[in-house]
């Protein structure tokens, strides 16, 4: 029984981490049809910079607040000066993000060396919770809570604010939104920056879990891709459900049938692709 509880909690915490990773990609793709191959790079930079910030200042809180804002700024610049002019030329945008991926990867390599780092946890979250016979890391509970909070906030923003309705409308019908006089280029840049923000946030929050290492950008991108395909493009709710599903299937899969480890991530994706290519909750 303990085994099941622990593994399920594992799955949920991993799923919430995946949600943080994938939410940004889903939004960006859903609204702007940009396949941002540099999405994982935002994670990587967030994790490495977070590592440096925590190392210099000792404050996890500072890292959580400052780093995603910084990377959001980077995303803003990247979209405004590189990607925006190619809106509509999707292939060019993909290739630009691919070039950016290489550049970010090399810059992180240059600055932080090829070292793999695991971010230190804040002291009050470093321990374990013991409930009866179950010992579970406190930090993973924190990740679950954060994931849920971000999901709720996103839902609130999307459903209850003007910005949110613009985004939702843009996902459904971009031409109409433009026709209504809304400055879509600026909206797009804002959403891209938001995507970068979320990715970098997952870098700082996920850093103690997943770590920062050369190649993390690719690994994260692939995970985010799986979630987005399964959950559906353009839907935060879809990303939430998709990431929970993937987190649980992967964790339980590894626990029960370890020979199929990597496969348990891609199998659900393959099934969805075959049966329902728009994903479970795809809006588009």
Partner 1 sequence: MTSEKGGTMPTRRQAVTLSVGALTVLVVAISGWMSTGASAQAPAAKTPIKIGVLSPLTGPLAALARDVVDGARLYVDEVHGEMAGRKVELIVEDYEFKAAVALTKTKKLVERDRVHVVVGVILSAAVLAMKDYIHAQEVPFIVSGAAVAESITLEKPSPYVFRTSFSASQVPAPLGKFTYDKLKARTATVIAGDTVGTIELVMGFARAFEEAGGKVVQELYPPIGTTDFGPYIGKIRRDVGVVATLVPGADGIRFIKQYEEFGLKGKIPVVDTAPGITDIAVLPAAGTAAVGMYATNAYVHTIKSPANQKFVQAFRAKTGRDPGGPGEYTYSALAAINQALQATGGNIEVKAKFLDALRKMDLEAPRGRIRFDRYQHVIQDVIITRIDKVGDQIVPVVVETVRGVDQFLGLAPEEYVKRPRLIMLKGTFGK
Partner 2 sequence: MSGIGLALGLIVLAIIVRLLPTYYIGLLTEALILGIFAMGLDLLLGHTGLPSLGHSAYFGAAGYTMAILSLRLQQSSWVSASAGLVVSLIIAAIYGLLALRTSGVYFMMITLALAQVLWGIAFGWRSMTGGDDGLPGIARPELRALFPWSLQPPANFFTAVLIIFVIVVAALYVLVRSPFGYTLHGIRESEARMACLGYHVWWHKYVAVLIAGGVAGIAGILFVYYHGFVSPAELSLVLSAEGLLMVILGGSGTLFGPALGAIVVVFLRNLISAYTERWLLILGLIYLLVVLCAPNGIVGAIRARLPGWLDREAEA
Q: Residue 74 is encoded by which pair of tokens? A: 């980077």
DSSP string, 161-228: SHHHHHHHHHHH-HHHHHHTT--HHHHHHHHHHHHHHHHHHHHHHHHHHH-B-TTHHHHHHHHHHHHH
Contacting residue, 106, 115, 153, 256, with partner 2 by CB under 8 A: 106
Q: How far apart are CA 184 and CA 229, in angstroms?
A: 25
At its nearest, how many Å lie between partner 2 and the CB of residue 73? Answer: 19
Query: CB–CB of 47/203 below 8 Å?
Result: yes
Contact call for residue 91 and partner 2 (CB under 8 A): yes
Contacting residue, 1, 91, 124, 130, with partner 1 by CB under 8 A: 130
Task: Say which entry of partner 2, partner 1, none residue 225 contacts (CB below 5 to 8 A, set by partner kind).
Answer: partner 2
Q: How far apart are CA 11 and CA 141, in angstroms?
A: 11
At its nearest, how many Å lie between partner 1 and the CB of residue 156? Answer: 29
Query: Nearest-CA neighbor of 235 among 36, 41, 48, 22?
Result: 22
Contact call for residue 265 and partner 2 (CB under 8 A): yes
* Stretch touching partner 2 by CB under 8 A, among 48-56, 127-135, 160-168, 215-223: 215-223
Q: How far apart are CA 185 and CA 6, in angstroms?
A: 46
Contact call for residue 122 and partner 1 (CB under 8 A): no
Contact call for residue 45 and partner 2 (CB under 8 A): no
Query: Nearest-CA neighbor of 46 among 27, 65, 23, 25?
Result: 65
Q: How far apart are CA 260 and CA 164, in angstroms?
A: 40
Query: CB–CB of 39/220 below 8 Å?
Result: yes
Hey, which residues between 133 and 162 contact partner 1 (CB under 8 A)? 135-137, 139-140
- What are 131's strand-pairing partners? 134
At its nearest, how many Å lie between partner 2 and the CB of residue 173? Answer: 16
Contact call for residue 214 and partner 1 (CB under 8 A): yes
Hey, which residues between 18 and 37 contact partner 2 (CB under 8 A)? 29, 33-35, 37
What residues line the site for partner 1 (CB under 8 A)? Answer: 3, 6-7, 10, 13-14, 109, 113-118, 128, 130, 135-137, 139-140, 209-211, 213-215, 219, 251-252, 254-255, 258, 261-262
What residues line the site for partner 2 (CB under 8 A)? Answer: 29, 33-35, 37, 82, 86, 90-92, 94-96, 98-103, 105-107, 109-110, 218, 221-222, 225-226, 228-229, 233, 259-263, 265-267, 269-270, 273-274, 277-278, 284
């Amino acid at each position: 029984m303990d085994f099941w509880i622990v593994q399920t909690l594992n799955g949920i915490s991993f799923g919430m981490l995946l949600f943080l990773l994938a939410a940004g990609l889903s939004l960006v793709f859903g609204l702007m049809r940009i396949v941002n191959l540099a999405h994982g790079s935002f994670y990587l930079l967030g994790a490495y910079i977070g590592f440096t910030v925590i190392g210099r200042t000792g404050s996890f809180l500072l890292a959580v607040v400052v780093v995603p804002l910084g990377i959001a700024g980077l995303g803003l610049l990247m979209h405004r000066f590189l990607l925006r002019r190619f809106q509509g030329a999707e292939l060019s945008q993909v290739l630009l993000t691919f070039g950016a991926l290489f550049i970010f990867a090399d810059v992180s390599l240059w600055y932080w060396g090829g070292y793999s780092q695991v971010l230190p946890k804040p002291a009050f979250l470093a321990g374990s919770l013991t409930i009866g016979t179950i010992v579970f890391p406190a930090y993973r509970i924190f990740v679950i809570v954060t994931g849920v909070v971000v999901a709720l906030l996103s839902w609130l923003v999307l459903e209850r604010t003007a910005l949110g309705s613009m985004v939702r409308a843009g996902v459904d019908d971009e031409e109409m939104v433009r026709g209504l006089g809304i400055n879509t280029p600026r909206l797009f840049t804002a959403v891209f920056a938001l995507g970068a923000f979320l990715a970098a946030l997952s870098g700082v929050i996920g850093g103690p879990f997943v770590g920062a290492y050369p190649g993390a950008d690719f690994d994260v991108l692939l995970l985010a891709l799986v979630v987005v395909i399964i959950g559906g493009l353009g839907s935060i709710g879809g990303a939430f459900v998709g990431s929970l599903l993937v987190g649980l299937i992967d964790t339980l899969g590894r626990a029960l049938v370890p020979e199929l480890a990597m496969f348990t991530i891609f199998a659900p994706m393959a099934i969805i692709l075959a049966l329902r290519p728009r994903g479970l909750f795809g809006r588009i």
